[in-house]
Amino acid sequence: MTGDLFANEPPRNLLPFDGEVLLLRDIMDHDAADRTFIRLKSGIVWQQEIAKIHGKEIPVPRLTAWYGEVAYRYSGVYHPASPFPSVVAPLRKLAEDLSGASFNTVLLNQYRDGRDSVSWHADDEEVLGDNPTIASLTFGEERRFHFRHKKSGDRISVDLPHNSALIMSGATQHCWVHQLPKTAKQVGPRINLTFRYTCPESR
């Protein structure tokens, strides 16, 4: 499969050191990708999470959903195990085929417009294990994504197009932080799914 997909342009590591990040384009047939976006947008029960910052309750600037075979505590919110919906199950299989890793949990983000964002962070929680592989699928509007090295401050930017996968592995989460900043441009919605393997014994 990957042989056909990347026959013309094999993906190269976007990071100069301390990790590996590959951008895979056109991960499925164009019509299937458009249908997947529509099904995710209307078929997922999207949540507006509220973060407590210095005692103040602030709506998180994006909509989220979470599914997984194991329970998970994220930003102080307990998510009981809940099965992958029918639109997400084949995307997990695709993410596994593309990355060669296994995933049992997924976090979905919907960025409604340019005011939605996710700020600097690394997905380096203990329950994700050492050097986790994370497959991050994009459908909908293209947005710019940034990496910043935790020690040197080096920065890398990459535009994440519709129907693409960003595969992050090796030391990426330990050595780099990432963000999806707001944009002043008029942009439509973007949906992102980050597939992860969460250690069940760490619940």
Residue 172 binds to ligand AKG (criterion: CB under 6 A): no
Write down the least CB distance from residue 198 to ligand AKG, Å. 13
Choosing from 69, 123, 142, 154, the residue that interacts with Mn ion (CB under 5 A) is 123
Q: Is 172 helix (H, G, I), strand (E, B) or coil?
A: helix
Residue 196 binds to ligand AKG (criterion: CB under 6 A): no
Write down the least CB distance from residue 5 to ligand AKG, Å. 20
Other residues' Cβ atoms within 10 Å of the Cβ of residue 64: 19
Restricting to residues 61-120, name those near ligand AKG by CB under 6 A: 107, 109, 118
Write down the least CB distance from residue 172 to ligand AKG, Å. 11
80 alpha carbon, distance to own chain's centre: 20
Residue 176 binds to ligand AKG (criterion: CB under 6 A): no
Q: Are 43 and 87 in contact (CB under 8 A)?
A: yes
Residue 79 has, within 13 A of its CA and on its CB side, a CA count of: 21
Write down the least CB distance from residue 189 to Mn ion, Å. 19
Residue 180 binds to ligand AKG (criterion: CB under 6 A): yes
147 exposure class (CB count in 10 Å sphere: 0-12, 13-18, 19+): buried
Strand partners, 106: 67, 195
Angstrom distance (rounded) from CA 25 to CA 46: 26
Residue 145 binds to ligand AKG (criterion: CB under 6 A): yes
The residues of the shown chain that bind ligand AKG, judged by CB under 6 A, are 107, 109, 118, 123, 136, 145, 160, 178, 180, 192, 194
